[in-house]
Chains A and B, each alone.
Chain A
């Protein structure tokens, strides 16, 4: 054994992080042990607290500390307008745009049967009940443009149509400040299909 057992255990624990191999894990462990004991203790406390204290919001499935996340709890957010996203990171992106005042439903993935992810794994049975419940006026689909994202969008469209709820989908196309030359063909074709009248 190259290290004391506790050091070994720490290095091994770091390798569970995405993108961290044995070398980086060793560097992280040394950094904390050499000159970061206090930060290391804080990291440990934060990990403990989050692992025990974070659950899924019962309305939108995003991470939450209570039954409801802050967005679902806020009286300022329009609960009849629901944006469907694949990940908590997508919620953050929408929140940073500052444009959106509705609520979310976070799938925590996309339909991918070959990976064992079906409708129930994404909480779509819960979404179906909420749609049938009648408090939702409009669904905004913001799933990805991969085949999994498309399948997910269509499945949810089906649920919403059964419940008589209006569905929109965020526009896809050329990024702001983007140079057409560097936009791939499929994106450009979609942007062309979704073109709108240009008026002053």
Chain B
């Protein structure tokens, strides 16, 4: 094995943008490094540097960003089409917005790969996104216990709950139905549960997104 091959590490490209005349700045997601920014000199025309393509990259630290020294495909590109592709952008936008650069999250790597694979399967895309959002929030330390309220009492299927995104669920006379929260916990995704999960995840993400909403939400047309 040559030296270069040993230095190749798995990566997913989250985003690319032009830099100077012929170069690129890419945001990569990597198992050991988390989200990293890298300059690719002369990389503008390299079509293999694309989101949803499993890559092997060689990075060299240079200043506050890396520079990408080599890149090759690790497996064929994912085939995301239509809504599944919008979901892929959504997941990438979430990672770009929520992860800090150079903050490792090794447990997120398998979740990200699982999510892309599930999107490629194309079934229950909203559930795939909810599971990703819940896993991402947990990994970042912002997860909540869906089985208990903040007093430590088990969530009751006939109860209703309000959300305090920092602390968790509060028993109330109206709000998120306990039966849906328990169904989420058990992975039983009926239509009502999916609606509740969507609202709950939005509310959980909101404090971390600030006043700039996720742009990829605009791709999903309401009819």
Q: Which residues of A contact B (CB under 8 A)?
A: 18-19, 21, 111, 113-120, 146-147, 150-151, 154-155, 157-158, 162, 184, 186
Contact = CB atoms under 8 A, between A and B. Distances in A.
B158 to A, nearest CB: 40
Contacts of B96: 114
Contact of B85 (A114, A115, A116, A150): A150
B218 A147 contact: no
B120 to A, nearest CB: 13
Interface magnitude class on chain B: 20 to 34
A113 B93 contact: yes
Given A18-B21, A146-B47, 5 more contacts: A113-B89, A154-B83, A154-B86, A155-B219, A184-B47
B92 interface: yes
Interface in B48-73: 50-52
Interface in B24-47: 47
B92 A150 contact: no
A154 B81 contact: yes
Interface of B: 14-15, 17, 21, 47, 50-52, 77, 80-83, 85-86, 88-90, 92-93, 96, 214-216, 218-219, 221, 223
Contacts of B51: 147
Contacts of A150: 81, 85
Contacts of A154: 81-83, 85-86
A19 B218 contact: no
B215 A116 contact: yes
Contacts of A162: 223
Given A19-B21, A147-B51, A155-B219, A114 B93 contact: yes
A186 B77 contact: yes
B64 to A, nearest CB: 20
A155 B221 CA distance: 9
A111 B90 CA distance: 12
Contacts of B219: 111, 113, 118-119, 151, 155
Contact of B215 (A113, A147, A157): A113
A194 to B, nearest CB: 15
A21 B92 CA distance: 33
B88 to A, nearest CB: 8
Pick the 3 closest A-B CB pairs, nearest first: A113-B216, A113-B215, A118-B218
Nearest to A184: B47
A184 B21 CA distance: 24
Contacts of A184: 47
A157 B214 CA distance: 23
Contact of A151 (B15, B21, B86, B215): B86
